[in-house]
A and B are shown apart, each in its own frame.
Chain A
Amino acid sequence: MTSIEATPAEPYLPPGLPEPIPMPDGLDAPYWEGTRAHELRVQQCGSCGGFQWGPEWVCHQCLSFDLGWSVVPGSGRIYSWERSWYPVHPTLRDRVPYVVALVELPGAGDIRMVGNLLGDPLQEIVIGSTVEAVFEDHEETEPPYTLVHWRVVTEETD
């Protein structure tokens, strides 16, 4: 299992983007608690065993309400990606270009998650590359939160 990197010194995107706000009904609380512990947790159905992402009350595959949460490996493959050159938010004006990746997790039923791809924004990106999860802590808000980014695994970091 690939090791999970400690939080990077600098956040990938500058402060000023709206921070994530968990639902008041607690549906996704286990995910956010997991990120604070640098663990990746996703929903897994107690009836059919299927994984799903983003969190929902009902199982996407069998429609059961018997949904639990499982810790999954922070390892994935790039399914697709995009490199933004145009700042869609004033905060990003000096930060473009930056990269967003859609990562599929073979260790979690091939669910796909969105995150930033760390490293040089102009790096050559190959769909199918193996990536590992990197947790980015944010202590500046109340409550604090942690984002999940991804980094391409090369021979040196394997």
Chain B
Amino acid sequence: MGQDRRAAIVGFAEWAPQRKWPRPMFTLEAFARLTKEALDDAGMEPGEVDGILTTSPVPESRMFAPAAVAEYLGIPAAFAEIVDLGGASGAGMLWRAVAAVEAGACETAICVGSTTPPPPNPKRKSDPTRAYLGAEAWGAPHGQFDVPYGLINPNSHFAMVAQRYMHEYQLKPETLAKIAVQQRDNAQANPQSQFQGKPITVDDVLNSPLIVDPLHLLEIVMPSGGGVGLVVTTMERAKKLTRNRPVVLTGFGEQVTHKSITYAPSLTAVPIKAAADRAFKMAGVDRKDIQMASLYDCYTITVLLTIEDAGFCAKGEGERFVDEHDLRYNGDWPLNTNGGQLSLGQAGVAGGMYHITDALEQLMGRAGERQVAGCERAFVSGTGGFMSEQAALILEGA
């Protein structure tokens, strides 16, 4: 038999998100540190790395960013990519890394993402609203057709998604609040969570300030600093490593449909459907074979729509599904067992990677008190834009 060319995830590093990051840190520095920590976790040396994938942007390098990272890390890269899928970047990077290793493009790839405040540049003034979504770019559509009406940030877009969903289907605010509450319960057992020691109730969520009808503060992620690194190598190499149970990606899918809200094919039928269908077909398993799910949770409505359109329940049945299941790590449908971004904080575009580490902790048996017994197969979703780009991953312990 030839070498085992399947790829395996063999290590990771995860920084506890913090609302106020302790010190300014350029992206390149964060990438370097996360890479080192992830390699240490895997028991591998930097010299073995020949593939680099990063989230976007790398502010210090507007073009040729992977080359800048390779140079900064002192690692020549046979495969270098910057993945620009918003919150879906984490999942997008991982399957690309796996595909690159399995295709023989590289032997060992690093996936890194982070959000940290850079040291201030005294010379540059910018209008933060223009900067959102690249609206500062001269002539960007958002700057013309959305911003002048006060449609500026994701809260507003997701509120429109929620309003439309509530118009088309049955959904009460208490059900959405339950998602936030049970994820917060999970976080009580996660030392990485800045909300440990701060459980909440459904009343707490519904009484928290209304940010954009119908979304309350406690069902919206809190922006934070943070970062994650992953190591993907060949199974051949993995067999000689001793730190972690290797995890394999048995199915993946990705779908990007639009960027502007005016071009959304639908506000209530989201691209995770195509992504999940492809992932499950590739893996050759059914929805019922999934033992834990880590679903991108910028808002509670994001989670509910993902549960539906990823096929875990019928369309329009999301409310009933959430009402009838216990989503805690010791419940009958473990979801976001690390607390999710709702109870970790959202580390910018790196936030989606915390759903990958959530699954890795479970599959590698590293979830401690939150361990789902006998967890062999997990489903992870990434979401970017306004549910305009999504990715699905099916991960299994090897």
Residues of chain A whose beta carbon lies under 8 Å from any beta carbon of chain B: 13, 17-25, 28, 53-54, 60, 79-86, 88-89, 92, 97-98, 100, 102, 111-116, 127-128, 147, 149
Contact = CB atoms under 8 A, between A and B. Distances in A.
- What's the interface size class on B, roughly? 35 or more
Interface in B127-172: 127, 129-130, 135, 138-139, 141, 143-153, 155-157, 159-161, 163-164, 167
B160 A81 contact: yes
B157 to A, nearest CB: 8
Given A21-B143, A54-B263, 5 more contacts: A17-B147, A79-B267, A80-B164, A82-B212, A89-B129
29 contacts: A17-B129, A17-B147, A20-B145, A21-B138, A21-B144, A22-B144, A23-B138, A23-B139, A24-B139, A54-B145, A54-B260, A54-B262, A79-B164, A80-B164, A81-B160, A82-B212, A84-B150, A84-B212, A85-B212, A86-B209, A88-B155, A100-B150, A100-B151, A100-B156, A112-B262, A113-B145, A114-B145, A114-B149, A149-B149
B163 A80 contact: yes
Contacts of B138: 21, 23-24
A134 to B, nearest CB: 12
A17 B130 contact: no
A113 B262 contact: yes
A136 B332 CA distance: 54
A11 to B, nearest CB: 10
B398 interface: no
A80 B260 contact: no
Contact of B163 (A82, A88, A89, A113): A82
Contacts, number: 120
Nearest to B160: A80
A114 B163 contact: no
Contacts of B263: 54, 60
Given A80-B160, A102-B160, A13 B141 contact: no
B129 A82 contact: no
B143 A127 contact: no
B25 interface: no
Nearest to B128: A89
Contacts of A100: 149-151, 156, 160
B261 interface: yes
Contacts of A25: 139
Nearest to A115: B149
Contacts of A83: 159, 212-213
B261 A114 contact: yes
Nearest to A96: B150
B103 interface: no
Contacts of B149: 13, 100, 114-116, 147, 149
